[in-house]
């Protein structure tokens, strides 16, 4: 007798290495993420979704796999993944547990942005040396003891969209900063060891400016740090994104994740940094499609082996989903492949288009999957219902919400910088 087929046994890479011309090193890393997702994340995803509990054991298990240090440079002891490789690996995790992949993204960005991305930005030799020494401290915590970093930027106002300075402020004092403020939707709240916050560095007499945005790791156990509020959302429930309060928190200078003024440079010169929320949703789009194929073939574990693939309406729906998935993959792959400092206007508009497409299409494909598979597929015992809810969250995430992407594409396509009709 043959062993029963696991739902994920047949999962091929979302981006086949040969077809997408990936190197052997990339292919290995991405396969490692896929295997980890199938083996470790998938079986635990339902529980954390139901309980809205943070999947801390997934992060503990990532440590020996090297996945917490995927973007820590090789010479520092990490896996040294570049932007594109990270995105492809993250999509594979998103396929199996959206909440873990999204939370992992928050952690990984603290290493990617202070690592490969910061290497592309201008700094004086002294600034670079100080930055490299500081980031080594963060990397060692991750490598040696599996420390977890969160990325709470949002405040509920216009700052997370990049319009005004962050209301959370860091006042320079001897040896560091005193931080005050509030962050909403702090994924990994209560679980992270460090909160990589964005705040405005501001001396008493100074005006608040976006140019003085500081990217700072606040130790979770520092005096004045607290997590408040409940967390009972529609989707991405395992991210446990509660509210973080910072009251007169002293943060030593060595906790800077980027030197003074460099975050503003990054946001201006390296805009693809904001595409890093999208891989999770690329994975969810693939997961919704995979689910539908398995379900219509009568191969969904936990359901009777009833085939539904012979109906032309089902075949047409799957074809439409396939076309939308391939369109999304192609655009997204192009956008993540051209991430670099000082991209052209065309590349930036393509990045917005890719972000918009992934975030909107993930939910569109999941919606079609439910409609196509039918009533039994929406039971909470099956993954599709969770994928559907999780996928709804993508287009709401700042700074590149679907609305903001459309807004910017339209404006920048029609107006060159400085142009007006006045
Ligand atoms: C599951 C989940 C996890 C999250 N985790 C994190 C996290 O770890 N860290 C973090 O920092 N944030 C996180 N967020 C927050 C997220 O990035 C947004 O900040 C949050 O969803 C914004 O909600 P809001 O209602 O305050 O948005 P608002 O600022 O009220 O915006 C509402 C909508 O208005 C539109 N809008 C806003 N500003 C503009 C503008 N300037 N121009 C045009 N349109 C605009 C946008 O489309 C936006 O969706 C998470 C969100 C979710 C759903």
Tell which atom from ligand 1 comes closest to the C-alpha of 187: 8
Q: 400 CA distance to ligand 1 centroid (A)?
A: 9
CATH number at residue 132: 1.10.540.10
Give percent above pLDDT 70 in the chain: 98
Number of domains in the chain: 3
Residue 357 within a domain = yes
* Average pLDDT of the residues of the chain: 96
119-170 pLDDT tens trace? 999 999 999 999 999 999 999 999 999 999 999 999 998 888 888 999 999 9
Q: Are residues 255 and 274 in the same domain?
A: no
Distance from C-alpha of 146 to C-alpha of 128, rounded to nearest angstrom: 25
Distance 263 CA to ligand 1 centre (A): 19
Residues 330-356: what's their mean pLDDT? 98
Last-in-domain residue among 204, 225, 260: 260
pTM across the whole model: 0.97
Q: Write out residues with Cβ below 6 Å of ligand 1.
A: 106, 151-154, 156, 158, 160-161, 163, 185-187, 236, 239, 241, 393, 396-398, 401, 403-404, 407
> What is the tens place of the pLDDT at every residue in 50-74?
999 999 999 999 999 999 999 999 9
Residues 293 and 388 placed together within one structural domain of the fold: yes
Among 185, 229, 410, name the best residue to mutate to test ligand 1's pocket (greatest count of ligand atoms within 8 A of Cβ).
185
What was the pLDDT predicted at 3? 46
Residue 16 is assigned to a structural domain of this protein? no
253, 317: one domain: no
Nearest CA to ligand 1 atom 4: 185
In a domain, 342, yes or no: yes
* Between 170 and 10, residue with greater pLDDT: 170
Same domain, 206 and 253: yes
Residue from 218, 263, 396 whose mutation best tests the ligand 1 pocket (most atoms within 8 A of CB): 396
**276, 255: one domain:** no
Residues 315 and 239 in one domain: no
399 CA → ligand 1 middle, Å: 7
Rounded to 5 degrees, φ, ψ at 164 are -130, 170
Q: If you average pLDDT over residues 79-92, what whole number do you get?
A: 98
- The closest residue, in CA terms, to atom 14 on ligand 1 is 185
In this predicted structure, what is the pLDDT of residue 4?
47
pLDDT at position 204: 86
Average pLDDT in the 95-122 region? 98
Ligand 1 centre from 404 Cα, in Å? 10
Give the integer Cα–Cα distance in Å for 259 and 150: 19
34 and 71 within one domain: yes
Is 159 a domain residue? Answer: no
Check whether residue 256 and residue 381 sit in a common domain.
no
pLDDT category of residue 5 using cuts at 50, 70 and 90 = low
Report the C-alpha gap between 188 and 281 in whole angstroms.
18
Average pLDDT over residues 4-9: 63
Q: What is the CATH number of the domain that holds 209?
A: 2.40.110.10
Is residue 416 scored above 80 in pLDDT? yes
Q: For residue 302, what pLDDT band results from cuts at 50, 70 and 90?
A: confident
Contact 37, 62 (CB under 8 A): no
Does residue 387 contact residue 310 with C-beta atoms inside 8 Å? no
Q: How does strand 242-252 pair with strand 225-228?
A: antiparallel
Select from 232, 260, 288 the last residue of a domain. 260
Which of 260, 291, 326 marks a domain boundary?
260
pLDDT at 205: 87
The reply to whether 215 falls in a domain is yes
User: What pLDDT, in 10s, does the model give residues 182-207?
Assistant: 999 999 999 999 999 999 999 888 89
The answer to whether residue 3 is domain-embedded is no
Quote the ligand 1 centre to 38 CA distance (angstroms).
30
- Tell me, yes or no, whether 30 and 129 share the same domain: yes
Are 249 and 275 within one domain?
A: no
CATH number at residue 340: 1.20.140.10
User: Distance from the CA of 186 to the center of ligand 1, in angstroms?
Assistant: 12
The encoded tokens of residue 118 equal 């910061």
Residue closest by Cα to atom 33 of ligand 1: 396
pLDDT tens for 304-326 read 999 999 999 999 999 999 999 99
Indicate which residue's Cα is closest to atom 13 of ligand 1: 185
**Interval between CA 30 and ligand 1 midpoint (Å):** 29
* 6 occurs within a structural domain: no
Strand partners, 149: 194
In a domain, 420, yes or no: no
Atom of ligand 1 nearest to the CA of 160: 19
Q: Burial of 413 by CB count in 10 Å (0-12 exposed, 13-18 middle, 19+ buried)?
A: exposed
Q: What pLDDT, on the 0 to 100 scale, is given for residue 6?
A: 66
Cβ-proximal residues to 294 (8 Å cutoff; 6+ apart), any chain:
7, 300
Element (H, E) at 322: helix 312-337
**Distance, CA of 414 to CA of 408 (rounded, Å):** 10
Q: Which atom of ligand 1 is nearest to the CA of 393?
A: 53
Distance 416 CA to ligand 1 centre (A): 27
Q: Are residues 176 and 255 in the same domain?
A: yes
pLDDT, average across residues 256-270:
96
Specify the pLDDT at position 2: 44
d(CA 294, CA 92): 18
User: Domain containing 345: what range?
Assistant: 270-414
pLDDT in tens, 210-240: 999 999 999 999 999 999 999 999 999 999 9
Question: Is the same domain home to 277 and 401?
Answer: yes
């Amino acid at each position: 007798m043959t062993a029963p087929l696991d739902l994920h046994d047949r999962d091929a890479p979302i981006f086949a290495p040969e077809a997408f011309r990936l190197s052997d090193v990339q292919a290995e890393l991405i396969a490692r993420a896929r295997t980890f997702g199938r083996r470790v994340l998938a079986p635990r995803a339902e529980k954390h979704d139901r309980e809205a509990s943070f999947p801390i054991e997934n992060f503990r298990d990532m440590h020996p796999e090297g996945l917490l240090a995927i973007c820590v440079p090789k010479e520092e002891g990490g896996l040294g993944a570049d932007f594109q490789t990270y995105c492809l690996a993250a999509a594979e995790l998103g396929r199996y547990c959206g909440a873990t992949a999204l939370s992992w993204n928050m952690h990984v960005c603290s290493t990617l942005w202070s690592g490969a991305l910061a290497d592309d930005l201008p700094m004086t030799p002294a600034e670079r040396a100080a930055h490299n020494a500081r980031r080594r401290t963060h990397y060692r915590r991750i490598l040696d003891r599996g420390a977890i970093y969160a990325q709470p930027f949002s405040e509920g106002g216009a700052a997370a969209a990049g319009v005004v300075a962050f209301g959370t402020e860091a006042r320079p004092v001897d040896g560091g900063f005193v931080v005050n403020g509030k962050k909403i939707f702090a994924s990994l709240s209560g679980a992270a060891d460090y909160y990589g916050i964005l705040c405005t560095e501001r001396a008493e007499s100074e005006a608040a400016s976006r140019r003085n945005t500081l990217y700072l790791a606040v130790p979770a156990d520092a005096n004045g740090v607290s997590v408040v509020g409940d967390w009972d959302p529609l989707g991405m429930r395992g991210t446990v994104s509660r509210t973080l309060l910072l009251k007169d928190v002293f943060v030593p200078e060595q906790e800077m994740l980027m030197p003074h003024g460099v975050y503003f440079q990054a946001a201006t010169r390296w805009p693809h940094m904001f595409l890093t929320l999208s891989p999770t949703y690329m994975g969810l789009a693939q997961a919704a499609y995979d689910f539908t194929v398995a379900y219509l073939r009568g191969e969904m574990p936990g359901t009777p082996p009833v085939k539904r693939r012979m109906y032309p309406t089902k075949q047409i729906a799957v074809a439409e989903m396939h076309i939308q998935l391939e369109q999304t993959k192609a655009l997204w792959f192009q956008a993540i492949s051209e991430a670099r400092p000082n991209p052209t206007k065309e590349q930036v508009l393509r990045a917005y288009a890719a972000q918009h497409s992934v975030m909107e299409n993930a939910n569109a494909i999941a919606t079609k999957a439910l409609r196509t598979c039918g009533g039994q597929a929406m039971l909470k015992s099956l993954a599709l219902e969770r994928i559907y809810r999780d996928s709804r969250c993508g287009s709401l995430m700042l700074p590149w919400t679907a609305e903001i992407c459309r807004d910017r594409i339209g404006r920048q396509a029609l107006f060159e910088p400085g142009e007006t009709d006045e």
